[in-house]
Structure 1
Amino acid sequence: EPLLNFSTRMMAVRSYLGVKFGVSGLLSQLTSSTRHHGRPCVSPILTSQHRNTSSSSSKVKVDLDQNTGVAVMHMQSPPVNSLSLDFITELCISLEKLEMDKGCRGLIITSSQPKVFSAGLDILEMYGKSPERCGEFWKSVQELWLKLYSSNMVTIAAVNGSSPAGGCLMALTCDYRIMADNPGYSIGLNETQLGIVAPFWFKDTLMNTIGLRHSEMALQLGLLYKPQDALKVGLVDQVVPEDQVLPAAVKSVNKWLAVPEHARQITKSMMRKSTIDRLTSNREADIQNFVSFITRESIQKSLRGYMELLKQKKA
């Protein structure tokens, strides 16, 4: 079945990792008996691999400090970290490896691309594609959200550039958001401006962060907030000078890690469970709704117009 393609990719990667590190089935053995204070217990072989090298792929670079237990994930998919199927797959693989590593307790997500955190979902994944391909793409978007929103790690978004739409969603999944104080940057779920409707779990994530009234206005109007405005509504938690984003994120993650881990993890799970359950129990229906919506001729026309507008701006 076409919608299983993304799951098949992930299973293939898990098998590859099992062969490479000599731990067959390692990434699928997430039972309670293998956890220590909510963190998975990992083979010394895999842990050793992380100690010796930084993890890097073509689009994602991860540096894990074994002394602090904090990883920094650099998104490096030029030009603007658009969330394509391939990029999302690499992000999911990197997140899964970190989640499995008991030496990693905190994660800072940032961008290596100038002036942008992430431009959001790649429009090329939604324009002119078959329903099967659209379904596979949307399943990967769901998977990325689930991995981030349910992570046992402390997650900090170091937003060092603009972050519209899906980029904003990525930041919203984190426990804490720090944004560069640059009036040229913006953040928000602006889907309606493109003729697209943000799905219910985008809405739920935003509402959990900034409340009903601010969310109602932000989603209907497709608002993009400047850093100081984002701070006022609670979309980000801290605004700092551009060169202080990463240092501030490191300071913040250490504050969160000072809390007893087991208590923090259970509390996080308790706070987010109903939102997560709502997607997991409606996942296939959400995929079908997305495919049905995005493949409409009127929506494809809107996407085509937006792409032409982008081409004109580049010219």
Structure 2
Amino acid sequence: MNTLEIIHKENYSIVRMKRGKVNAINHEMVRELSIVFEEMEEASSIKGVILTGQPHYFSAGLDLIELIRYNEEEINDFFRAFGELYDQLLRFPKPFISAITGHSPAGGCVLAITSDNRYMAEGEKYRIGLNEVAVNIQISQGLIDAYAFWLGEGLANRYILEGKLLLGPEALAAGLVDDLVPLNEVLEIAENKMKQYLKADPEIWLATKKKLRKHWLEKTSIERGSLKEAAKLWWKPEIREKMEAYVKSFSNKKNTSK
């Protein structure tokens, strides 16, 4: 794996995203996450999975610097693969916890909201949320339903339309994360919760998770129409111009900080 590190514990595994400093999501990372979670779903020895990142970044979201260079076929393939990964993680039957080690906007939040619990690092600057509207990416109905599942429809609607990124205390108050803990304790807290879950009868636990998500899953399917819409809007000239300006400004900041 080029973008992931796998750490196997006694009866659960930790998947650490390790792609550069900020874990920006590209097609390779999407493919590798899909392969790993499929393997862990099938492996009887693995009873649960913790997804985590690197210090200060869970994932900064989609790698716009790379994606802006994709041709039409490549961007269609990416959005389809990312949508399928979201659906796969949402339906992952075993205990699944996100240990959020810092920033988690947009695509990073997409991954996190599929998990059963989210523990986030304390930090004055760390933010999490679905800010697709703010960065000119079409959000799918499935993601809106996911946000509403955790936040309630009122808050979800307001925050999505605003493209709002939440600071840790805001995310905790909204129900988007379960707790805020020191950065160096995030993974430990997630592991403690996993061990708690694994003490339960596995058949009962898995059946209960399925029941809790029943109505959410009934509303959610891989939305081919939404994915095509997102890919189509990707090429809209005024949106493309804004994205290219954003990528240029971001690249200039990176070069300046070197």
Distance 1:233 1:302, change over 3 A: same
> CA separation in 2, counterparts of 1:305 and 1:199?
24
RMSD: 1.6
AA in 2 matched with 1:269: K
Which residue of the partner structure matches residue 239 of structure 2?
Answer: 299
Which residue of the partner structure matches residue 150 of structure 2?
Answer: 209
Runs ≥4 residues deviating over 4 A: none
Equivalent pairs counted in the alignment come to 255
Equivalent residues of 2:138, 2:230 under 8 A apart: no
AA in 1 matched with 2:48: G
> Once the 2 structures are TM-superposed, how far is the Cα of residue 278 of structure 1 from its aligned partner?
4.0
Tell me which of 62, 72, 81 is aligned to 2:6. 62
Distance 1:279 1:289, change over 3 A: farther
- Whether 1:226 and 2:167 are equivalent positions in the alignment is yes
> CA separation in 1, counterparts of 2:147 and 2:84?
18
Between stretches 262-271 and 251-260, larger displacement belongs to: 262-271
- Whether 1:98 and 2:40 are equivalent positions in the alignment is yes
Give the fraction of aligned pairs with identical amino acids, expressed as a percent.
Answer: 28
Equivalent residues of 2:142, 2:220 under 8 A apart: yes
Equivalent residues of 2:113, 2:146 under 8 A apart: yes
> Once the 2 structures are TM-superposed, how far is the Cα of residue 198 of structure 1 from its aligned partner?
1.6
How does 1:199-278 map onto structure 2 within 5 Å?
A: 199-278=140-219
Which runs of 5 or more structure 1 residues have no equivalent in the other structure? 1-56
Tell me which of 157, 166, 169 is aligned to 2:110. 169
> Once the 2 structures are TM-superposed, how far is the Cα of residue 103 of structure 1 from its aligned partner?
0.7
> Once the 2 structures are TM-superposed, how far is the Cα of residue 86 of structure 1 from its aligned partner?
0.6
> Once the 2 structures are TM-superposed, how far is the Cα of residue 110 of structure 1 from its aligned partner?
0.8
Tell me which of 244, 251, 255 is aligned to 1:311. 251
TM-score normalised by structure 2 residue count: 0.93
> Once the 2 structures are TM-superposed, how far is the Cα of residue 310 of structure 1 from its aligned partner?
0.7
> Once the 2 structures are TM-superposed, how far is the Cα of residue 74 of structure 1 from its aligned partner?
0.8
Q: Secondary structure at the match of 1:289?
A: helix
Between stretches 167-176 and 120-129, larger displacement belongs to: 120-129
AA in 2 matched with 1:305: A
- Whether 1:289 and 2:229 are equivalent positions in the alignment is yes
> CA separation in 2, counterparts of 1:128 and 1:232?
38
AA in 2 matched with 1:311: S
AA in 1 matched with 2:59: S
> Once the 2 structures are TM-superposed, how far is the Cα of residue 70 of structure 1 from its aligned partner?
1.3
Equivalent residues of 1:178, 1:248 under 8 A apart: yes
> Once the 2 structures are TM-superposed, how far is the Cα of residue 288 of structure 1 from its aligned partner?
1.7
> CA separation in 2, counterparts of 1:283 and 1:200?
8
> Once the 2 structures are TM-superposed, how far is the Cα of residue 277 of structure 1 from its aligned partner?
4.5
Q: Secondary structure at the match of 2:62?
A: coil
AA in 2 matched with 1:204: D
Which residue of the partner structure matches residue 140 of structure 1?
Answer: 81
Q: Which has the larger radius of gyration?
A: 1
> CA separation in 1, counterparts of 2:224 and 2:159?
27
AA in 2 matched with 1:100: E
Distance 1:165 1:235, change over 3 A: same
Bigger relative contact order, structure 1 or 2 (CA pairs below 8 A, ≥6 apart): 2
Which residue of the partner structure matches residue 14 of structure 1?
Answer: none
TM-score normalised by structure 1 residue count: 0.77
> Once the 2 structures are TM-superposed, how far is the Cα of residue 299 of structure 1 from its aligned partner?
1.6
> CA separation in 1, counterparts of 2:27 and 2:218?
24
> CA separation in 1, counterparts of 2:136 and 2:224?
23
Which runs of 5 or more structure 2 residues have no equivalent in the other structure? none
CA deviation string 1:81-120 (max 9, x = no partner): 1110011101111111111110111111111x33110011
AA in 1 matched with 2:2: S
Equivalent residues of 2:59, 2:103 under 8 A apart: yes
> CA separation in 2, counterparts of 1:124 and 1:132?
17
